[in-house]
Structure 1
């Protein structure tokens, strides 16, 4: 963020520096807007992926697959996401905790509800739902970061994403009695 130059941003966006300043008073406001736009996009994706009538397992697989395939096809986006969490205190100052918790509630709330449904249906391990959701998310995040740092063809990446999705889901599915 510190090395970001508004002139470079304008050039990459194909607009004038003046136009950027018409919408944003300074670089920090531009970056805050970017963060908030990302948070809203994540909320919309998660809602669409997890709030459906499908089986919780289908929804969780779609959720994991999306993020893992994004790591393969758009690795820079994954690195940006990882850095966003660390940069929140710089971007939002004293409000960073509130923004972070709102983001988690919006994104992880749907995940927790899906996990609760899976447990109630006897599909997922009988583990405290928040812990199981975080365990699932930890697997997805770890695999995302690993895939993002590799130089993979789409075919190689999809094969590894398939393996990771299988391992992640296998870890949270209820074992036969």
Structure 2
């Protein structure tokens, strides 16, 4: 709300599911009678300014929606809410050939990369590698906070020299400037082509 004399530190946060989270809400205004956090968990009572902290030891909620409120001496109330992204790396990532072994030279086949239980899927990038070469990168435009299973398909036209070649896919979460410094990624075991 515009003109609400509250500052959240941090106002945007990226947190791994199950990790601790801590956000301070502070004010320098002199007309704030009291303040607190309203939240499904970790909420606080009505406290005296200038700072009130929302703290959860293990964040196990996909859409946490805490808001910090201030009650002013004139009886009006205002709130501010942080932007929280909760993420989870996949349980596993695997490549399958949908049962086409051995493959026949000169035909088209699909390889499928399954990414199991990842969140948020809209921050996921799947990259396919043939040997060490990147052959396809795919992003997902669903928008959901809870973990989902998803997959990416790579079409290959088989050539004789693909025999024994390895394919793998890697799932990477791009969580923006507030996210972890190293992108959380999970790679599939290599899939070896049999032509």
For normalisation by structure 1, the TM-score amounts to 0.24
Q: Which has the higher helix share?
A: 1
Q: Which has the larger radius of gyration?
A: 2
For normalisation by structure 2, the TM-score amounts to 0.22
Q: Which has the higher strand share?
A: 2
Give the structure, 1 or 2, with the largest relative contact order (CA under 8 Å, sep 6 or more).
Answer: 1
